[in-house]
Amino acid sequence: MAAAVIVKNLRKSYGSSIAVQDVSFEVQAGEIFGLLGPNGAGKTTTIRCLCTLTKPDEGELEVAGVSVLKDPRSARSKLGYIAQEVAPDKVLTGREMMNLQAAIYHLPKAVANQRIEFLTSILGLTEHINKKTGGYSGGLLRRLDLAAGLLHQPEVLILDEPTVGLDIESRVVVWDFLRQLKSTGTTILLTSHYLEEVDALADRVGIIDAGKVIAMGTPSELKDRLGGERITLRIREFTTSAEADSTKDLLMKLPFVQDAIINANQGNSLNLVVQASDDALSKVQAALKSAGLPVFGIAQSRPSLDDVYLAATGKTLMDAEMATAGSRNLKAEKKQSMKN
Amino acid sequence: MTISTSPKTIADWQPRADRLPPTSAVSDFIQETLGLTTRLFIQLKRRPSTLVAGIVQPLMWLVLFGALFQNIPKDLFGTDYGHFLGAGVIVFTAFVGALNAGLPVMFDREFGFLNRLLVAPLASRYSIVAASAIYIIALTLLQVVAIVGLSALLGAGLPGFSGAAIILLVVFLLVVGVTSLSLGLTFALPGHIELIAVIFVANLPLLFASTALAPLSFMPPWLQTIACLNPLSYAIEPIRYIYTNPQWQWSSIILHAPWADVSFGAALLVLVGFAVISLLIIQPLLRRRLA
Best of B20, B28, B34, B116 to disrupt the A interface by mutation (most A CBs within 10 Å)? B116
Interface contact B190-A79, CB threshold 8 A: no
From CA A317, how far away is CA A38, in angstroms rounded? 6
* Residues in a beta bridge with B200: none
> pLDDT at residue A195 above 90?
no
Is B12 a domain residue? no
Is B38 a domain residue? no
Closest chain A residue to B123, measured at CA: A73
Domain A3-223+320-339 in CATH 3.40.50.300: yes
Q: Can you give the pLDDT at residue A228? A: 78
Whether B73 contacts chain A with CB within 8 A: no
- pLDDT category at A291 given cuts 50, 70, 90 is confident
> Which domain covers residue B79, as residue numbers?
44-287
* Residues in a beta bridge with B75: none
Q: Can you give the pLDDT at residue A336? A: 55
Q: Which whole number is the average pLDDT over A156-172? A: 90
Best of A104, A182, A334 to disrupt the B interface by mutation (most B CBs within 10 Å)? A104
Is B16 a domain residue? no
Helices (H) and strands (E) in chain B, counts: 14, 2
CB B237 within 8 A of CB B267: yes
From CA A287, how far away is CA B261, in angstroms rounded? 105
Contacts of B2 in chain A (CB under 8 A): 124, 173
Contacts of A166 in chain B (CB under 8 A): none
> pLDDT at residue B123 above 60?
yes
Q: Which whole number is the average pLDDT over B117-123? A: 94
Q: Which whole number is the average pLDDT over A6-14? A: 94
Q: Can you give the pLDDT at residue A150? A: 94
From CA B165, how far away is CA B169, in angstroms rounded? 6
A314-318, B16-20, B110-114 — which is least confidently predicted? B16-20
Is B280 a domain residue? yes
Q: CB-CB: which of A83, A118, A126 is closest to B115?
A: A83
Residues 21-60 of B with CB under 8 A from A: 23, 27-28, 31-32, 34-36, 38-39, 42-43, 46-47
The CATH T-level fold of domain A228-302 is Alpha-Beta Plaits (3.30.70)
Residues 143-162 of A with CB under 8 A from B: 148, 150, 153-155
Is B25 a domain residue? no
Is B20 a domain residue? no
Is B263 a domain residue? yes
Q: What percent of chain A has pLDDT over 90?
A: 48
Closest to B229 (Cα-Cα) out of B255, B200, B253, B197: B255
Q: What is the pLDDT of residues B253-286, one digit of tens each?
A: 999 999 999 999 999 999 999 999 999 999 999 8
Q: Which whole number is the average pLDDT over A243-256? A: 88
Topology match between the domains A3-223+320-339 and A228-302? no
Query: CA B195 → CA B100, B200, B201, distances in Å?
Result: 9, 8, 10
Q: Can you give the pLDDT at residue A165? A: 83
> In whole angstroms, how large is the CA radius of gyration of chain B?
22
Closest to A274 (Cα-Cα) out of A292, A312, A301, A294: A301
Q: Can you give the pLDDT at residue B158? A: 86
Q: Can you give the pLDDT at residue B54? A: 93
Closest chain B residue to A148, measured at CA: B116
Three-state DSSP at A194 gives coil
Minimum distance, in Å, between the CA of residue A75 and any CA atom of chain B: 8
For chain A, give every domain's residue range: 3-223+320-339, 228-302
Contacts of A102 in chain B (CB under 8 A): 35
Q: Can you give the pLDDT at residue B2? A: 47
Interface contact B6-A72, CB threshold 8 A: no
Closest to A226 (Cα-Cα) out of A183, A182, A177, A276: A276
Q: What is the pLDDT of residues A69-99, one digit of tens each?
A: 999 999 999 999 999 877 889 999 999 999 9
Q: What mean pLDDT is reported for chain A?
A: 87
Asked if the interface predicted TM-score (ipTM) of this complex is over 0.90, the answer is no
Q: What is the pLDDT of residues A18-49, one digit of tens each?
A: 999 999 999 999 999 999 988 888 999 999 99
Q: What is the pLDDT of residues B11-25, one digit of tens each?
A: 777 665 556 777 889
Three-state DSSP at B115 gives helix
Q: What is the pLDDT of residues B41-98, one digit of tens each?
A: 999 999 999 999 999 999 999 999 888 888 888 778 877 888 889 999 999 999 999 9
Is B267 a domain residue? yes
Residues 135-194 of B with CB under 8 A from A: 190-191
Interface contact A87-B116, CB threshold 8 A: yes
From CA A232, how far away is CA A301, in angstroms rounded? 8
From CA A228, how far away is CA A243, in angstroms rounded? 25
Interface contact A185-B16, CB threshold 8 A: yes
Q: Can you give the pLDDT at residue B15? A: 63
Closest chain B residue to A181, measured at CA: B10
CB burial class (10 A; 0-12, 13-18, 19+) of residue B217? exposed
Q: CB-CB: which of A89, A103, A122 is closest to B35?
A: A103
Q: CB-CB: which of B3, B39, B113 is closest to A87?
A: B113
Q: How many domains does chain B have?
A: 1
Minimum distance, in Å, between the CA of residue B9 and any CA atom of chain A: 6
From CA A173, how far away is CA A155, in angstroms rounded? 22
The angle that helices A305-313 and A219-226 make with each other, rounded to 10 degrees, is 50
Whether B111 contacts chain A with CB within 8 A: yes
Closest chain B residue to A174, measured at CA: B3
Which residues fall within 8 angstroms of residue A197, CB to CB, at 6 or more apart? A34, A162, A163, A171, A175, A190
Q: CB-CB: which of A96, A154, A338 is closest to B42?
A: A96
Q: What mean pLDDT is reported for chain B?
A: 90
Q: What is the pLDDT of residues A111-131, one digit of tens each?
A: 999 999 999 999 999 999 999
